[in-house]
């Protein structure tokens, strides 16, 4: 069958019941899981906004929404089993999400099953792999989910900075040194428009600069770029980098485009 509004509604209900199965005996979702649930809701909203802004047909728009809903399905089991969201210390959460959705059979009746599953599987990869790139429908959905996810990761970071005592407790940011200059390798990678190597992340400034690189080089759609501008994500990062570093490269690397 072809994906339609009713199917997406019932998929959303199935996903909701699955998430609820992780609630404590008091009926509450543990805090770390609740953050992921909120993140997912925002990623779905971002995906809808991108699909609308790009003028996609209904089938493509609904597939983007379904993939956004499912993209982090594995996060709940990941934190329950491994007590961390760090993939390097547990599982690749995108592959884990893909496996769970497949095993649940939620998409089995759909013609769009493979494309949606692929968008889930590749959402955290540095680049979209060739086999997905070659399929226009699947790669469009994958691109939308990747943009929608990044746009919400921008919100999450700003929220963490606003609510955490980050100067004294940098756990949310991998315990990186806070008041420290950025690594020149990171700055070079962003200038060259190449993905930042995660081994080069030595300071909080580097961590923030990864996202500056995403803003400049990795948002796939004009609508995503427009949303990013409207939400002032680049400006926020420039101002924050000035708070934690005295590097004279900041203004240049965070130059607002057009
Ligand atoms: Fe994810």
Cα of 123 from ligand 1 centre, angstroms: 7
pTM of the model: 0.94
- Distance, CA 3 to ligand 1 centroid (Å)? 23
In a domain, 78, yes or no: yes
Judgement on whether residues 19 and 132 belong to the same structural domain of the protein: yes
Using DSSP, state whether 122 is helix, strand or coil.
coil
At 239 the pLDDT is 96
Residues 77 and 135 in one domain: yes
pLDDT value at residue 258 = 42
pLDDT tens per residue, range 62-87: 999 999 999 999 999 999 999 989 89
256 pLDDT exceeds 70? no
Closest among 128, 122, 145, 132 to 66, alpha carbons compared: 145
Last residue of a domain, one of 151, 174, 201: 151
For residue 156, tell me if it sits in a domain.
no
CATH code: domain of residue 97 = 1.10.3210.10
Q: What was the pLDDT predicted at 101?
A: 98
What's the mean per-residue pLDDT of the chain?
94
Mean pLDDT of 110-121: 98
For residues 187 and 88, what is the distance between their CA atoms, to the nearest angstrom? 24
Which pLDDT tens digit goes with each residue over 11-24?
999 999 999 999 99
Co-location of 231 and 110 in the same domain = no
Residue 175 pLDDT > 90: no
Q: Which long-range contacts (CB under 8 A, 24 or more apart) does 208-215 make?
A: 208/157, 208/237, 208/240, 208/241, 208/244, 209/182, 209/237, 209/241, 209/253, 210/186, 211/150, 211/153, 211/154, 211/157, 211/237, 212/237, 212/253, 212/254, 213/189, 214/150, 215/154
Same domain, 136 and 210: no
Q: What is the pLDDT at residue 10?
A: 98
The answer to whether residue 159 is domain-embedded is no
pLDDT attached to residue 88:
87
Q: How many domains does the chain have?
A: 2
**Structural domain range at position 234:** 164-258
Contact 219, 150 (CB under 8 A): yes
Residue 204 and residue 170 share a domain:
yes
Count other Cβ atoms within 10 Å, centred on residue 93.
Answer: 23
* pLDDT tens per residue across span 207-221: 999 999 999 999 999
What pLDDT does residue 174 have?
A: 74
Averaged pLDDT for residues 153-169: 89
Ligand 1 centroid vs 75 CA: distance in angstroms? 8
Residue 157: inside a domain: no
Same domain, 6 and 113: yes
Q: How far is the CA of 247 from the centre of ligand 1 (A)?
A: 31
């Amino acid at each position: 069958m072809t994906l339609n509004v009713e199917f997406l509604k019932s998929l959303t209900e199935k996903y909701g019941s699955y998430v609820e199965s992780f609630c404590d005996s008091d009926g509450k979702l543990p805090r770390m899981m609740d953050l992921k649930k909120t993140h997912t809701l925002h990623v779905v909203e971002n995906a809808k906004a991108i699909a609308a802004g790009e003028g996609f047909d209904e089938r493509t728009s609904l597939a983007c929404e379904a993939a956004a809903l499912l993209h982090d399905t594995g996060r709940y089991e990941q934190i329950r089993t491994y007590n961390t969201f760090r993939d390097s210390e547990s599982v690749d959460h995108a592959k884990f999400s893909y496996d769970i959705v497949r095993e649940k059979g939620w998409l089995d009746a759909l013609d769009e099953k493979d494309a949606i599953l692929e968008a889930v599987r590749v959402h955290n990869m540095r680049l979209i792999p060739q086999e997905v790139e070659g399929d226009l429908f699947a790669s469009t959905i994958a691109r939308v989910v990747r943009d929608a996810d990044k746009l919400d990761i921008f919100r999450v970071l700003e929220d963490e900075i606003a609510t955490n005592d980050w100067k004294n407790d940098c756990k949310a940011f991998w315990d990186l040194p806070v008041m420290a200059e950025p690594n020149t390798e990171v700055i070079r990678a962003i200038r060259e428009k190449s993905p930042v190597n995660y081994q080069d992340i030595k300071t909080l400034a580097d961590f923030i600069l990864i996202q500056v690189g995403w803003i400049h080089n990795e948002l796939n759609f004009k609508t995503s770029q427009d949303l990013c501008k409207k939400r002032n994500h680049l400006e926020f990062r420039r101002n924050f980098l000035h708070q934690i570093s005295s590097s004279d490269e900041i203004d240049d690397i965070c130059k607002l485009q057009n």
